[in-house]
Amino acid sequence: MVTSALRIGVLALQGDVREHAAILTSLGAETVSVRRPEQLDGLDGLVIPGGESSVIDKLSRIFGLRDPLRVAIGDGLPVYGTCAGLILLADEIEGAIDGQLTFGGLDVTVARNAFGGQVESFETELTVDGIDGEVAATFIRAPLITRVGPQARAIATLPDGGVVAVEQGNLLGTSFHPEMNGESRFHARLLDTARRRRGAAAA
């Protein structure tokens, strides 16, 4: 039986869209740049990239994407958010600008720019639950997960205990940018989740 490639969207309102698309393509997925609500139709999964969370929030409302995205997340669409994408998946934000909203779904609180500005960017190696070996992680004006609710699970922490990656059902979020290092295992994890969901729907 021939199985079609997974169709994974990359929210393309702002941020490092190209890097995520390249990794997804290298893993055999068909990628779709998502800028309009109808482009969510038929997706097996979605990546929300880094960038500026407040800008992505505003543009999602301008393009009519916010509500359809919230519905898709609520319906179980597998979604992976990096940096700003993590903020947009969080149910609560610390340090939000006036009027800033999220798509929600992750039972966490995230502090924006918790590590400072661009000059405080750094790289480190992390141990991540479910991934063999160290993960190269790049933090750029990164958020920190300050509360992990009972529905979510921390899967990576810094040496000081700060939580920087979480998982909850079909949702995955990281404070850092694995795509900046060519790290593909988080995207592979998203694809595994999407594959399971597609299989369950076909059963």
Per the residue annotation, which of 83, 167, 183, 187 is the catalytic one? 83
Enumerate residues 6+ apart whose C-beta is below 8 A from 69: 11, 40, 46, 60, 103
Tell me the pairing of strands 7-11 and 45-48: parallel
Buried b (16+ CB within 10 A) or exposed e, 17-28: bebbbebbeebe
Question: Whole-angstrom Cα distance, residue 163 to residue 140?
Answer: 16
Per the residue annotation, which of 19, 167, 179, 183 is the catalytic one? 179
Catalytic (active site) residue 183:
no
Per the residue annotation, which of 19, 20, 167, 177 is the catalytic one? 177
Nearest to 52 by CA among 136, 137, 123, 140: 140
What are the DSSP E strand ranges found in 30-189? 30-34, 45-48, 79-82, 90-94, 106-111, 122-126, 135-139, 144-148, 153-157, 163-168, 171-174
Catalytic (active site) residue 83:
yes
Catalytic residues: 83, 177, 179
